[in-house]
Amino acid sequence: MKTIGDYQNKKVLVLGLAKSGLNAARLLHRLGAYVTVNDAKDFHENPDAQALVADGIRVISGSHPVELLDENFELMVKNPGIPYSNPMVKRAQELNIPIITEPELAYEVSETDWVGVTGTNGKTTTTTLIGLMLNAGGQVAHAAGNIGIPLSQVAQDAKPNETIVAELSSFQLMGITKLHPHVAVLTNIYEAHLDYHGSRENYVNAKMRITMNQTADDYFVMNWDLAEMHDLAKRSKAQIVPFSRKGAAGARAALIDGQLSFDGDAIMPASDLKIPGDHNVENALAAIAVAKLHGVSDEAIVSVLSSFTGVKHRIQYVTTINGRRFYNDSKATNVEAASVAITAFKDPEVLIAGGLDRKLPMDDLVPLMQKHVKALVTYGETADLMVQAAKDAGIKDITKVDNLNEAVPAAYAASAEGDVVLLSPAAASWDQFNTFEERGDLFIADVEKLK
């Protein structure tokens, strides 16, 4: 970890806890800042807040009092999930208080090269694969960030000759200024998080911040199957490294005659991948590109791709019960992500879907449901939208329940031997859960109860 004096005696407000806020506050305290943490959760129900107080850090919890900003703070470190429309954030902007997110702080103290991974879908799988490939190749890599491990925690321990592989959400990227990955990855861009960003243009601009500090000595790995990427590439100063599943001209990592290849050299058959779906071929190609840029051997890449069975909550195989295979895709918090999961299987599917209503249409699911889904079980705020999509797809077996606990046995009842029972909500979890991880864990527990 770099020894920096930028935060010595600086008044910093950390807005929002969870893992990122907790670790940012501790790092700032270590760097000599005067830290105040503000979290909306009541102190007596907030173990993170209690732990920080025990560390000697000031915590104000239970609400977000705007008048707190009258204390002349010099910086705000904002939890990525708190929108810029929040009154505290808006007031900080009015007062010209700089606002960053935790990855920026982590980068400032980091002594090592970064690989930054972003995109609408595939971030976690690609980040995980890159980390595994680098480690299998004899290097030392730390996968962290939006994947669930705070970057400010990892950055303090990573050594100069190691690599941090950072999954970066658009929310996190909105709060960076200096963060400069040597290799950046943009897996894809679809329509998502418009309630947070306000428009697709703003969302795309947030994603493209991953390359804003890159130079001609850096690399930007991009999905060349998406026409939009060709124009976005012009906004980067880095060397573009395209990947393609569909044979796009110029792609360095590509699917050629069924083989995962790099610079025209076959590495392994795509059919040997243990994770299902065309989207995972794309994730593998993106990871291969990064691994080859880091000098990883074909043998190390093959060892990872032929054994990796997926990340938790992203088309995660749970178990098989009486011939029914259960998959947890709780991380599918939007229609695009759910579409990826629904098309990943050849067997008939019983789909469990529903969640927070962001006022977005479900129309794009209709043709996919028509082709892949035999029955729907739905719950949550988007239940009626899901019911209508299923009806439009011609599905007759539709069950509406109150919650996920009821959805799992209902889905099992609608299934037959050889079917896939898939939780892929196509919506955020916040109507009934705190996080998509909590939703996925409950699904796994409910499936285990069926045994």
Q: What is the pLDDT of residues 233-256, one digit of tens each?
A: 999 999 999 999 999 999 999 999
User: Token pair for residue 355?
Assistant: 């969640």
Distance CA 135, CA 122 (A): 20
User: Token pair for residue 132?
Assistant: 């595994």
Contact 188/282 with Cβ under 8 angstroms? Answer: yes
H helices within 83-225, ranges in order? 87-94, 102-109, 123-136, 151-154, 170-173, 194-197, 200-208
Mean pLDDT of 390-419: 98
Give residue 310's pLDDT band: very low, low, confident or very high (50, 70, 90). Answer: confident
Count Cβ atoms within 10 A of the Cβ of residue 214 and give its class: 0-12 exposed, 13-18 middle, 19 or more buried.
buried
Query: Beta partners for 12?
Result: 35, 75
- Between the alpha carbon of residue 150 and those of residues 116, 172, 175, 207, 212, the distances in Å are 14, 12, 15, 19, 22
Count Cβ atoms within 10 A of the Cβ of residue 60 and give its class: 0-12 exposed, 13-18 middle, 19 or more buried.
middle
User: Token pair for residue 34?
Assistant: 């005067």
Phi, psi of 280 (to 5 degrees): -75, -25
* pLDDT given for residue 6 in this prediction: 94
Name residue 344's amino acid: A
pLDDT tens sequence across 405-432: 999 999 999 999 999 999 999 999 999 9
Closest CA to 169 of 375, 405, 445, 436: 436
pLDDT tens sequence across 186-204: 999 987 677 778 899 999 9
Residues of the chain by 3-state class (helix, strand, coil), percent to 5: 40, 20, 40
* pLDDT given for residue 250 in this prediction: 96
**Global pTM exceeds 0.75:** yes
* pLDDT given for residue 214 in this prediction: 98
User: Token pair for residue 375?
Assistant: 């029955």
Provide the 8-state DSSP code for 340: H
3-class SS of residue 42: coil
Higher-scoring residue by pLDDT: 434, 350: 350
Count Cβ atoms within 10 A of the Cβ of residue 149 and give its class: 0-12 exposed, 13-18 middle, 19 or more buried.
middle
Radius of gyration in angstroms for the set of CA atoms belonging to the chain, rounded to a whole number: 22
pLDDT tens sequence across 144-179: 999 889 999 999 999 999 999 999 999 999 999 999
Contact 379/403 with Cβ under 8 angstroms? Answer: yes
Contact 189/226 with Cβ under 8 angstroms? Answer: yes
User: Token pair for residue 401?
Assistant: 């329940």
* pLDDT given for residue 298 in this prediction: 98
The answer, yes or no, to whether residue 121 has pLDDT greater than 90, is no
pLDDT tens sequence across 215-238: 999 999 999 999 999 999 999 999
Distance CA 201, CA 191 (A): 10
Helix (H) or strand (E) holding 24: helix 18-30
Domains of the chain and any CATH numbers? 11-99 (3.40.50.720), 103-305 (3.40.1190.10), 316-450 (3.90.190.20)
Q: In what order do the strands lie in the sheet with 349-353?
A: 316-321, 324-328, 420-423, 349-353, 373-378, 397-400
CA angle at residue 319 from 422 to 425, to 5 degrees? 20
